[in-house]
Amino acid sequence: MIPKSHPRYESLMTREKIVGGVEKGITSIHGLIAQGRGEAFDYLIGEKTGKGALHAEKVAAALLLLAKRPVISVNGNVAALVPEEIIKLSDAVNAPLEVNLFHRTEERVNRIIQHLRSLGAKKIYTKSNALIPGLDHERAKVDSEGIFSADIVLVPLEDGDRCRALVEMRKTVIAIDLNPLSRTAQDAHVTIVDNIMRAIPNISEFAEELKRSKEESLEKLVDAFNNKENLALAIDEIIAHLQTSQR
Ligand code: PTJ
């Protein structure tokens, strides 16, 4: 039992969620390593949503609202860390979920689907009847009506090459990745350098706010966004945070 008064309470509770995910068989053991890597970057950004990340979250909400066939990709870490929040976002922007795993086993896919359904997920693409071209690992397996034919895909905590393959399929890719230097972060159209625990609720909040906006103003927001500049801002924010942390 972690006391609420512990100075690292939130971070430790997040760890508990990931460990719980592994114990329930929804998160891969490699997910623990990914979480550790994420934590290190979160430390560098000051464990808060920076200006650039907030801006990317708003643009992501606009893109999801504008999309004709948006899909939210879910892996074992996402299912353990933010299951309710991802379902709420799915409802807010009308984007079905699809489980897509790097360390894929049919058992884990089914457990994640059951977990999401038990928490109220309405629309989940569950077939694996199509392949993303150019990928020779398990992440290539997708639903022909889901990720395969989506126009916009939200990919939180990616491992790299699927993001590029989706971009090559001419899809618009929104990534959530605490590492601004990762291949995913560099290849996506909109990269949110933030912890998924903060990013998903923020995107949902922006979606609720932007729902009332005209399509043209959403398009304006999207067109004005430059991912390279925003990634450079994320790195500047890390440097600024490190400089102010020096004693
Ligand atoms: O469930 P599976 O089989 O699909 O596997 C999922 C993981 C995440 C294990 C797999 O995709 C993987 O190995 O990913 P990587 O290569 O470790 O990359 C994960 C990226 O997400 C890294 O750049 C981390 O910094 C970042 N990351 C980790 N935790 C978080 C995060 N970004 C945002 N929020 C986090 N909580």
Q: What is the pLDDT of residues 33-51, one digit of tens each?
A: 999 999 999 999 999 999 9
Distance CA 57, CA 79 (A): 20
- Indicate if ligand 1 lies below 6 Å from the C-beta of 31: yes
Contacts of 176 (CB under 8 A, 6+ apart): 154, 155, 156, 157, 191, 192, 194, 196, 199, 200
What's the pLDDT at 9?
Answer: 77
Average pLDDT over residues 223-239: 97
Distance (Å) from CA 111 to ligand 1 centroid: 19
Q: Is the pLDDT of residue 154 over 90?
A: yes
Percent with pLDDT over 90 in the chain: 91
Q: pTM, whole model, 2 decimals?
A: 0.96
Residue 39 CA: nearest ligand 1 atom is 29
Residue 33 CA: nearest ligand 1 atom is 17
Domains of the chain: 51-245 (3.40.50.12640)
Per-residue pLDDT band for 13 (boundaries 50, 70, 90) equals: confident
Average pLDDT over residues 51-61: 98
Distance CA 113, CA 243 (A): 44
- Indicate if ligand 1 lies below 6 Å from the C-beta of 75: yes
Q: Is the pLDDT of residue 77 over 70?
A: yes
Average pLDDT over residues 21-28: 98
Mean pLDDT of the chain: 95
Q: Which long-range contacts (CB under 8 A, 24 or more apart) does 208-217 make?
A: 208/92, 209/61, 210/58, 210/61, 210/62, 210/65, 211/65, 211/92, 213/62, 215/66
What's the pLDDT at 247?
Answer: 60
What's the pLDDT at 108?
Answer: 98
Residue 30 CA: nearest ligand 1 atom is 9
Pocket mutation for ligand 1, best pick of 27, 77, 163 (most atoms within 8 Å of C-beta):
77
Lowest mean pLDDT among 51-55, 91-95, 144-148, 159-163: 159-163
Distance (Å) from CA 101 to ligand 1 centroid: 11
Q: Which of 184, 94, 201, 88 is nearest to 139 (CA)?
A: 184
Distance (Å) from CA 5 to ligand 1 centroid: 28
Average pLDDT over residues 45-58: 96
What's the pLDDT at 237?
Answer: 96
Distance (Å) from CA 158 to ligand 1 centroid: 6
Query: Do residues 83 and 55 lie in contact, with contact meaning Cβ atoms separated by under 8 Å?
Result: no
Distance (Å) from CA 215 to ligand 1 centroid: 33
Report which residue type is found at 118: S
- Indicate if ligand 1 lies below 6 Å from the C-beta of 11: no
Average pLDDT over residues 39-68: 97
